[in-house]
Amino acid sequence: MVDDPYTFGQIAAANSLSDVYAMGGRPLTAMNIVCFPNCLPPEVLGEILKGGADKIVEAGALLVGGHTVEDNEPKYGLSVSGLVEPNSVLTNSGARVGDYLLLTKPLGLGVLNTAIKADMTTVAQYNAAVHTMTTLNKYAIEAIRDLDISACTDITGFGFLGHAYEMAKGSGTSLEIDSSSIPLLEGAEDLASMGIIPAGMYANKRHVETEIKELNSIASVIMDLLYDPQTSGGLLIAISKKDVDEAASRLIKLCKNPWAVVGRVTEKRAYSIYVK
């Protein structure tokens, strides 16, 4: 996604840490997993590892070593262990009818990353994408962890609708999504309308489009962004109606990215996603 090795390391680490936050936990330890070619100078690897280490420190976890193998291109991630109280584990399968849905980061990272590779983004668009990808989901979940949350998942490679479908299926519910409330990264809509769309978007659409029902006519570019694969995306959280206003108040103060109430859990029946 980016050429700067330090930033690459930050993004990869934030992405790896996200699953622990999505389960309501806190990361304890992280182990580096590295593939690296011998044609690149070792200083590049050092910067990648420094970026990752800084995110591990920000998360409050400990780096406990790692594994490195030679490969044709650089690959980096973390094996993360975390801690969560047994009666406080968040899954993507507990959404309840009447819950509201919160999204804690804007969409459009797949489109922006595709445009970055083609050198088609402005400085502001690039910086916004990097800021979003390097921001830990720690801040959003810690702000509202004590509220009445029934389900949570992080939005990554399957896109918003792919992960929303997993929540609906796991919970045996239907979700109604208000497409007009979805936060989008600056430039994502314009770039997608130009056809700057990653291949993963089409794969995501093929995978779940039979379960997606449009309640009214939605612009095709908006639907594309709902399928857009994200790198280190935000959290999709189902929260009780009584706590949604309190969650909103806290996220305004503590969340480091644009967030929004994007829908609700509508019925206990054959799982479907309704987009309006």
According to DSSP, the residues that pair with 274 across neighbouring strands are: 176, 213
| Residue 25, token pair as written in the block | 């936990």
Domain end, chosen from 49, 64, 87, is at 87
Q: Are residues 180 and 55 in the same domain?
A: no
Q: What is the residue whose two structure tokens read 């830990």?
A: 136
**Three-state secondary structure of 158-196:** CHHHHHHHHHHHHHCCEEEECHHHCCECCCHHHHHHCCC
Residues of the chain with pLDDT under 50: none
Q: Are residues 95 and 227 in the same domain?
A: yes
Distances in whole angstroms, Cα of residue 271 to Cα of each of 42, 167, 176, 201: 50, 9, 11, 22
| Residue 165, token pair as written in the block | 């479908």
Q: What is the pLDDT of residue 270?
A: 66
Q: Are residues 168 and 194 in the same domain?
A: yes
Q: How many domains does the chain have?
A: 2
Q: Are residues 76 and 145 in the same domain?
A: no
Q: Are residues 151 and 202 in the same domain?
A: yes
Residue 171: HSE in the Cβ half-sphere, 13 Å Cα cutoff:
31
Q: Are residues 160 and 233 in the same domain?
A: yes
| Residue 172, token pair as written in the block | 């045996």
Q: What is the pLDDT of residue 235?
A: 98
Q: Are residues 143 and 235 in the same domain?
A: yes
Q: Are residues 147 and 39 in the same domain?
A: no
**Domain containing residue 246: CATH number:** 3.90.650.10
Domain of residue 136 covers: 91-275
For the entire predicted model, the pTM comes to 0.94
Domain end, chosen from 87, 112, 130, is at 87
